[in-house]
Amino acid sequence: MSGIKIVGDPIPNLPWEEPAVQSSESPVRRYSKNPIIPRDLLPASNSIFNSAAVPFQGQFAGVFRVDNNRREMVLHAGRSEDGYRWQIDPEPIRWLIDDDEVAAPEYTYDPRVTWLEDRYWVMWCNGFHGPTIGLGYTHDFHEFHMLENALLPYNRNGVLFPRRINGRYMLLSRPSDTGHTAFGDIFLSQSEDMVYWGRHRFVMGPREAWESTKIGGGPVPIETTEGWLLFHHGVLTSCNGYVYSFGAVILDLEKPWIVRYRCRPYLINPRELYELAGDVPNVTFPCAALADAPTGRIAIYYGCADTVTGLAFTRIEELFDYVRRNSST
């Protein structure tokens, strides 16, 4: 094993399941009781997926994508004692907007939540003359404030780093178009104030067959002693449509647009029934990861077939050794 360590805080109650059988294949293993959030947890929910969870006051909280029974894409807040069983607010988040020039969202989906300095920052795909990167914050998961969009349309998969790097805030995004987007590379943008974003850098584009159509950032990057661990999704166009899998890379700590290690095989791809069948078949889409620094354990929340939410688990040393052993940069 490499000796890599997670840089961060302990999460002693991290949701976790030891593997029943050790495998020489992917070091990421599904929870045996998936899915953890059904599509109909709320009275009016059509599906609940592609959502973000974080530690909060000794328990867990999050922001959830809920497509309702009118097929509107909206965000709801939720809380959990154990990270498995979630109580999601029946009403969508009502964004508080102090600036009259900031337009209310046309739609909201695929959130990420990041604890950064003194608050929980929320990024999501925001409807503003097409999709772009919405930005807001909360202190308590009850009151949510919406700020200016971070970037111009068209863009998706906004992912904020959990600390400043060389004095600057940094985010990842995937420029797109107004539709389902048959292309996509990951870029990095930097800011002094969380308002004006520039100093854009190319990070990486599709390479392997499983991600040959497009890629995008997944959960908030996890800081380690070897670099930033980024889970990302990749999309293959098959004769039956898009197939979403997810993999991992290690980015440089000081210049996170530089890829140090890039795992060639995927870590998870659709193969269980709840990943294969749903509103959008063949999707495994990671949006959140909880990391317990002392033990190196990581729990990954991912959307399944754009319908339900699943959990998967790995350990940082096992994952890093696998990524490095199967790396191309």
CATH fold of 29-325, please? Answer: Tachylectin-2; Chain A (2.115.10)
Half-sphere exposure of 117 (CA within 13 A, CB side): 12
User: What pLDDT does 22 receive?
Assistant: 61
Does residue 304 sit in helix, strand or coil?
strand
By the 8 A CB rule, do 323 and 315 touch? no
Domain map (residue ranges) of the chain: 29-325
What is the edge-to-edge ordering of all strands in the sheet holding 95-96?
95-96, 144-146, 131-138, 119-127, 108-116
Query: Position of tokens 């991912």?
Result: 302
By the 8 A CB rule, do 230 and 162 touch? no
Dihedral of CA atoms 208, 212, 215, 218 in degrees, nearest 10, equals -50
The H or E element containing residue 6 is: none
**Tens digit of pLDDT at every position of the chain (329 positions):** 689 999 999 999 999 999 876 666 899 999 999 999 999 999 999 999 999 999 999 999 999 999 999 999 999 999 999 999 999 999 999 999 999 999 999 999 999 999 999 999 999 999 999 999 999 999 999 999 999 999 999 999 999 999 999 999 999 999 999 999 999 999 999 999 999 999 999 999 999 999 999 999 999 999 999 999 999 999 999 999 999 999 999 999 999 999 999 999 999 999 999 999 999 999 999 999 999 999 999 999 999 999 999 999 999 999 999 999 999 76
Tokens for 185?
């590379």
Strands 144-146 and 95-96: parallel
- Summarize the chain as % helix, strand, coil (round to 5): 5, 50, 45
By the 8 A CB rule, do 278 and 285 touch? no
Q: Please list the residues that pair with 228 across neighbouring strands.
A: 223, 251
Q: What is the CA radius of gyration of the chain?
A: 18
Amino acid identity, position 254: E
| Strand residue runs (E) in 128-162 | 131-138, 144-146, 155-160
Separation CA 40–CA 66 (nearest Å)? 10
Q: Specify the length of the chain in residues.
A: 329
**Entry pTM:** 0.98
By the 8 A CB rule, do 316 and 300 touch? no
